[in-house]
């Protein structure tokens, strides 16, 4: 279990399917002919955003990832008049597209949708493909159906592993947006295309506005370089390519934004930049989370007693946003892109400028210290039975202090435990685990010790344009979040969905927590006594030495 806790640097880029898999055997399938079989929604009872999606078909990449699942669930539940959602899915780990889809819809996040609309899977269609392949790996038959039927495209797929190798990050994060744009250009009925980036794509800048900046490298040159240089040489030159960018994720995301601006300038296109996305706040399941990225990995590690310190300036704004608010904002931004493009089209002299949406928490900010305090508060309320030690975690602003904690509270205990483990004939695991944890922390250091200022006027303008019904149906106003209430559901969700410890075990966990607490206190007393004893011996022998020399 402990090895799973801080695996926080990877993400699926594939996407789900349901209904029919479109391959050569489904060339007779014509969704337009069956559109009337779906729920007929009276537009008079719909909000503006629901009207926009009513009767439309949507193409989504990244549907098997965290945001993708939430996006698909929300669209199907809140916009029942949607014709079809085409979801890009790639076979993975000896599982075909159909198996991956079955697993996708078994996720707890779809529970509420199943209750409200048991037949929702008739509105989903899987498209076999792979974002790491040219042209998204989509067959000619599937491509023809998508371009004919789809009018809204949301490109969510990405590899968010910060230290991903360049030859893997570039095809997914740079080449696939270009492939999606090429697909959009073939769609006669395209109304909106939104590329999901990240608020930290331009992290070398301290002020990040809602605009596309000059990329660190030309996209076409980078793609060509990937195709011409072997993997070993590429690893050697990666640091030179990155320059002031901290990792391949932010580097490739910055270049991808330039691709959208350059290639999609004549399309109804927009760039959506979410901050650090963590668990859901209210819907469809409170506190639902399925990954260990960023603060979630830290909270899980601290809550199980594995993680004791992180190099972090606690006064810095923790730019976190709930998953459900994020997808609501994404849905609203796609609607806004279409409206902006329509408005521009009526003015022949005006060229459409790709809008950028910074979805950040600056209007309801919390610091990393506040995040830690609330995580600790509710971690003690919902302790896990799988904890190996009592909660003892700190944000350490100074590197030297953090290093002290790493050696004395991570490495030395891990070495002692592994030594005992080897002596009893078992495989040592703790040093290997902490190697992963420290690699994870090294990735986070850049983001927990630097400050950024974000602008978000474009997002605020979208919220202002939303009707009261849409503000209620697609809640995305950060100022409405009660962070204390949120963190209670967040920590509870980590326990249930990530650590896989149901609330049924809470009584036993609290008993174990008390035992760990007193063990922790006893160890601190022993450690303090040993330290005092060592100091006394050093002073004593120094005194004896000085006395002997004076004689």
Tokens of 360: 């950040």
Show the 3-state SS of 89-139: ECCECCECHHHHHHHHHCCHHHHHHHHHCCCHHHHEEEEECCCCCHHHHCC
What DSSP element (H or E) covers 86?
strand 84-89
- On whether the CB atoms of residues 307 and 298 are closer than 8 A, the answer is yes
User: What pLDDT score was predicted for residue 397?
Assistant: 93
Residue 269: CB partners within 8 Å, gap ≥ 6? Answer: 181, 184, 192, 193, 194, 195, 260, 337, 354
Helix (H, G, I), strand (E, B) or coil at 235: helix
- On whether the CB atoms of residues 27 and 141 are closer than 8 A, the answer is yes
Angle (CA) 3 510 494, round 5°: 40
In angstroms, rounded to a whole number, what is the distance separating the alpha carbons of residues 393 and 371?
12
User: What pLDDT score was predicted for residue 349?
Assistant: 53
In angstroms, rounded to a whole number, what is the distance separating the alpha carbons of residues 53 and 151?
9
- Say if pTM beats, i.e. exceeds, 0.85: yes
**Mean pLDDT per 10-residue run, the chain (551 residues)?**
42 35 36 43 81 95 93 94 92 79 88 90 90 92 94 94 90 95 95 96 95 94 90 89 93 95 91 96 93 89 91 94 96 95 70 91 94 93 90 92 90 87 87 87 90 96 96 95 95 93 90 89 86 85 75 56
Residue 196: CB partners within 8 Å, gap ≥ 6? Answer: 62, 67, 154, 155, 156, 158, 272, 274, 330
In angstroms, rounded to a whole number, what is the distance separating the alpha carbons of residues 83 and 150?
10
Q: Which residue spans within 422-535 are E strands per DSSP? A: 453-454
SS3 content of the chain, % helix, strand, coil (to 5): 55, 10, 35
- Residue 209 CB coordination number (10 Å): 16
Q: Render pLDDT for 19-51 as a digit per residue (tens, 0 to 9).
A: 333 333 333 334 444 444 444 456 778 999 999
Tokens of 292: 């260990």
**Residues 508-519 as b or e (16 or more Cβ within 10 Å = b):** ebeebbeebeee
User: What pLDDT score was predicted for residue 540?
Assistant: 79
């Amino acid at each position: 279990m402990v090895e799973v806790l801080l695996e926080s640097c990877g993400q699926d880029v594939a996407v789900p399917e349901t209904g029919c898999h479109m391959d050569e055997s489904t060339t007779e399938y014509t969704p337009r002919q069956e559109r009337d079989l779906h729920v007929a929604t009276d537009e008079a009872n719909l909000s503006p955003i629901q009207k926009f999606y009513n009767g439309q078909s949507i193409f989504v990449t990244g549907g098997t990832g965290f945001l993708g699942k939430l996006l698909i669930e929300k669209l199907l539940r809140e916009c029942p008049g949607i014709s079809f959602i085409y979801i890009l899915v790639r076979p993975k780990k000896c599982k075909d597209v159909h198996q991956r889809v079955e697993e996708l819809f078994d996720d707890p996040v779809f529970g509420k949708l199943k209750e409200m609309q048991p037949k929702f899977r008739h509105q989903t269609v899987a498209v076999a493909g792979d974002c790491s392949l040219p042209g998204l790996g989509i067959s000619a038959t599937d491509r023809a159906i998508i371009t004919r039927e789809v009018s809204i495209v949301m490109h969510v797929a990405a590899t968010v592993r910060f230290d991903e190798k360049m030859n893997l990050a570039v095809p997914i994060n740079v080449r696939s947006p270009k492939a999606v744009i090429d697909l959009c250009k073939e769609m006669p009925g395209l109304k909106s295309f939104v590329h999901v980036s990240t608020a930290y794509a331009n992290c070398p800048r301290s002020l990040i506005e809602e605009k596309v900046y000059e990329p660190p490298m030309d996209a076409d040159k980078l793609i060509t370089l990937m195709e011409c240089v072997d993997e070993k040489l590429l690893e050697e030159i990666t640091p030179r390519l990155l320059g002031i960018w901290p990792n391949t994720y932010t580097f490739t995301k910055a270049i991808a934004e330039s691709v959208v601006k350059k290639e999609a300038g004549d399309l109804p296109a927009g760039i959506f930049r979410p901050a650090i996305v963590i668990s859901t706040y209210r819907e469809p399941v409170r506190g639902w989370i399925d990954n260990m990225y960023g603060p979630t990995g830290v909270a899980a590690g601290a809550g199980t007693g594995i993680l004791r310190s992180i190099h972090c300036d606690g006064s810095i704004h923790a730019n976190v946003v709930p998953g459900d608010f994020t997808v609501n904002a994404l849905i609203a931004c796609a609607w806004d892109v279409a409206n902006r493009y329509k408005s521009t089209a009526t003015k022949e002299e005006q060229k459409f400028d790709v809008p950028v949406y910074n979805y950040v928490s600056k209007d309801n900010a919390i610091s990393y210290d506040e995040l830690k305090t609330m995580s600790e508060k509710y971690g003690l309320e919902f302790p896990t039975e799988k904890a190996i030690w009592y909660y003892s975690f700190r944000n350490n602003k100074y590197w030297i202090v953090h290093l002290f904690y790493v050696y004395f509270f991570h490495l030395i205990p891990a070495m002692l435990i592994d030594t005992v483990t080897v002596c009893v004939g078992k495989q040592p695991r703790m040093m290997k685990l902490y190697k992963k944890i420290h690699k994870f922390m090294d990735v986070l250091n850049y983001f927990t010790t630097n400050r950024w200022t974000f602008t978000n006027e474009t997002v605020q303008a979208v919220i202002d344009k939303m009707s009261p019904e849409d503000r209620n149906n697609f809640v995305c106003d950060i100022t409405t979040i009660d962070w204390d209430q949120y963190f209670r559901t967040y920590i509870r969700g980590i326990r249930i969905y990530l650590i896989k410890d149901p609330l049924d075990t809470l009584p036993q966990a609290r008993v174990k927590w008390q035992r760990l607490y007193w063990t922790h206190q006893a160890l601190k007393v022993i450690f303090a006594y040993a330290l005092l004893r060592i100091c006394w011996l050093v002073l004593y022998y120094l005194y004896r030495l000085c006395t002997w020399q004076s004689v």
